[in-house]
Every structure is written in structure tokens, then in C-alpha cells.
Amino acid sequence: MKNMSSVIWYLYEFARKSFVEGFTDAKSKHDIVEKPDRFRDFPEVIKEYCIGCGACTKSCPSPQAIKLVRDGDDSEEDGITYPVVNERSCIRCGFCAEVCPTDPKTLLCGENHLIKEEFNIIPSKRQYLVDDFLCIKCKKCIKSCPVEGAIIEKDNKIMVDQVKCISCGNCLDACPVKGAMKGVFIDNLEDQKAVIHLVVNTLEEFIESKEKELQSLPDEKLLKLQLPLSEIWDKALKIIPDEEVALEIIENATDRLKIRIIAWDDSKCKKCRLCVDECPTGAITYNPDTNDVKRDSNKCLRCSNCYQTCPFCFVKYFIAKFLLDEFDGEKVILITLNESQLANN
């Protein structure tokens, strides 16, 4: 009996010491702390590569998640412009990294999928890809595919075999999650970017030409505008002569596009110059000879600093959203603007 008590006491002490050692030297298992390849993290910014184009800020669907800032100039060189990510607002959608035109990328947020052409006996303008981050593994694409083995599941990922794919588009129609299955055009990627820039610049210029309507817009009211697609269609076809490709690029661009607009009424400015110091790019300047405060729209990032700083509320800040639709046989871009809900003075 005495020996049995000793054994039990020994086991108790062994278990107690093991628990204490494990508690004081606790470590998470590797499968918990290591991120899987498909994990999309908050964007990592490599500011040395940034060209200050603003594509990341325009593509971001989350207000105030990303903005461009500029380092101060010194005697040797000008300060560089680069994006800063607010992790409290960022939803990790990856749009900023997707649209970033620099090579190498200024923004990285996990595994990057590069579009590469592969040999395929079926000539096609499209290549079908699966966004593994959005994919819910429902396998409806596999069931809808008429070619056995063209869409497969491997290592818990749904993948398209580009050699077997016949580009019928059944998978795109069957997918219940918008954006999880993508049918992308693999040729003329630079031309596609040029069409997107054309759309963005044309819409921005059109909206800014309506400054009087914006200035007189009552609070919490919407301003609705229409821009006929014909205004940009001929220019788009000069860049990409294929009507199907050009139309889909414009439709996709307007579907996710959001433009920030600054409305600036010089007649109401009190020349306090608070906005001059707050502008990160030097777009707002003061001329003591003429006693004028001016904003250079080409340098302006639409960051809203001036809107939030102005104590007299003469600066207005609007958010514009878009939809490509058709009325009476004519395609038009519907534009909806409302004043930002950001607090100002």
C-alpha cells in the first residue's frame, strides 16, 4: 500500500511540474501561427516603388482605409509620395494590390496570382481563374464544366487547367460568389489599363464641370448625373478595337469605381490659410501679392484634409459612384454623388 501511495504521489508531482513548465513556456502550434498561402493580409507598402498615381485610393471600397501621403522635401531631393493603410478601416479585399501598376508592386497583401499565358488548342480571348480567397469550395463550377478535368480540386483549392479549358463560361455563370471565378482578358494588359485611365479621367472631368450643382446641393441630398457612353466609346475603341473587350473593361471599371471630388468655392474663402499647411502635396498655395488661396487639381489627392480643416465650411467633399446601364437603346454611365459623412468644422 505504501509503494502504491509513492507511485501515485510521483505521478502527481510529474504531472504538476509538466503543467507548470508548459504554462510558463507556452507556445502556439505551428498550424495556428503560420498563415496559409491563401491568407490575404493587410497590405504591405514598399514606398520606394510608388509612382503616386492614386490607383489604390480610387479602387478602395472602404472609406479612409488607404490614403496617399508625401514626405517632406530636403535640400538634396524631393519627398516621395506613397500610400498609408489604416488597418482599422481596411477590409483586406486586395483591390489596391490588384490595380497597382508598378513592377515590382508597391502594395503586397499575400499570395499574388500573376496572369500568364499557357498553351491552349482552343483560341480564346479569356482566361478563367479562381480567386481562392473568395472561393467557398461549393464545387458548382466543377459540376457545370462540360470538360472532365478542366476544373479540379487539388490541395483544398479549386483550380482551372488552362490546357483543358474551352472557355465556355459555364463556371462563371454557375459561381454564386461575385468575383470568385474571374474571366479575364489575357492580351493587351497595358491597353486595358489605358482604357480604365480614360474612363476615370473622363468621369472626373465631367463631374468637376458640374461644380455649381455641387456647391448648391443641400446636405444629405443626392446629385444624379448621366454621361452617355458615346462620350468615351470612340476613344476606347482606338485603344482596344475589340468592342466586347472594351465594353466589359468599362463595365467592370465603373462597377467598382469610386471617385472623391473636392468642390472649391473661392468666393467664400476667408484666407485663413489653415488648409495650406495641412495639404500633403502642396496642391494648396497662398499668394500674398494677390491675397489668394488656390488649389491645383492636378496635384490634389482628394485626401479631404482641406475639407476637415476649413473652419468656414466653404470646401465640400463628395463621393461619386457609378453604374453602366442602358436607356432607350443607348448605354449611359449613371453617376450618384453625395456629400461625405466625414466630420468637418
> Mean pLDDT over all residues of the chain?
81
pLDDT at 115: 45
The single-letter DSSP state of residue 299 is T
pLDDT digits (tens, 9 = 90+) for 46-88: 988 888 878 888 888 887 889 988 888 777 777 888 999 998 8
Nearest-angstrom CA–CA distance, 189 and 115: 10
> What integer is the mean pLDDT of 171-187?
87
Q: Place 119 in a pLDDT band, splitting at 50, 70 and 90.
A: very low
pLDDT at 179: 81
Q: Place 117 in a pLDDT band, splitting at 50, 70 and 90.
A: very low
pLDDT at 7: 56
| Residue 182 vs residue 186, higher pLDDT | 182
Question: Residue 143 above 90 pLDDT?
Answer: yes
Could you tell me the strand order of the sheet in which 330-339 lies? 222-228, 330-339, 315-327, 258-264
Q: What are the backbone angles phi and psi of residue 157, rounded to the nearest 5°?
A: -125, 140
pLDDT at 28: 54
> What integer is the mean pLDDT of 235-263?
87
58, 101, 154, 200, 299 from 95: Cα distances, Å: 10, 12, 26, 16, 23
Residue type, 164: K
Domains plus CATH for the chain?
44-108 (3.30.70.20), 126-185 (3.30.70.20), 189-339 (3.30.70.20)
Percent of the chain with pLDDT over 70: 82
> What integer is the mean pLDDT of 271-285?
88
pLDDT at 83: 92
pTM for the whole structure:
0.56
pLDDT at 116: 47
Counts for the chain of helices (H) and strands (E), in that order: 12, 14
